[in-house]
Amino acid sequence: MLSGQFSVISLVNELWQFRQEQTIRKWRKKMKKLVLIMLLLAFVGVSVATAADVVVYENSKGNITFDHKAHQEKLGGDCSKCHQGEPAKIEVNKDYGHNVCKACHKDMNGPTKCNDCHKK
């Protein structure tokens, strides 16, 4: 009789603990998801902001920083100075840097010396 009562109590106890563990596990899963979503949002937010404003090209000669926003402002918002048609991604490489970027700098008194663009 006494042991029967005891085992009912411990069964209830066990069930209660099991339920709690399940709840914690579910919570953990939810938190993990939430943290992942937040990280993703933070990452997307940061990459959108930097892609539009400032781009840094890592380079053995010294990194080049292209301030897209400052250029837009300096050129009076005239996108067609650099973009043909609908503005989109431009592949910036050595040729582009030393021909297109530099050519306009020559015309408009922008920086043309190596370490004006390449910063160590």
Give me the residues that bind ligand HEC (CB under 6 A), please.
51, 55, 57, 59-61, 64-68, 70-72, 74-75, 77, 79, 81-83, 87-90, 92-94, 97-98, 100-102, 104-105, 108, 110-112, 114, 116-118
Q: What is the DSSP letter of 94?
A: H
Residue 78: burial class (beta carbons within 10 Å; 0-12, 13-18, 19+): exposed
Which residue's beta carbon is nearest to the bound ligand HEC?
A: 97
- Name which of 35 and 70 has its Cβ closer to ligand HEC: 70
Minimum distance of ligand HEC from residue 46's CB (angstroms): 13
Minimum distance of ligand HEC from residue 93's CB (angstroms): 4
Minimum distance of ligand HEC from residue 96's CB (angstroms): 6
Residues pairing with 57 in the sheet: 64
Question: How many CB atoms neighbour CB 84 within 10 A?
Answer: 9
Cα 56 to Cα 70: distance, rounded to the nearest angstrom: 14
- Name which of 5 and 93 has its Cβ closer to ligand HEC: 93
With DSSP H G I counted as helix, E B as strand and the rest as coil, what are the percentages for the chain, rounded to 5? 70, 10, 25
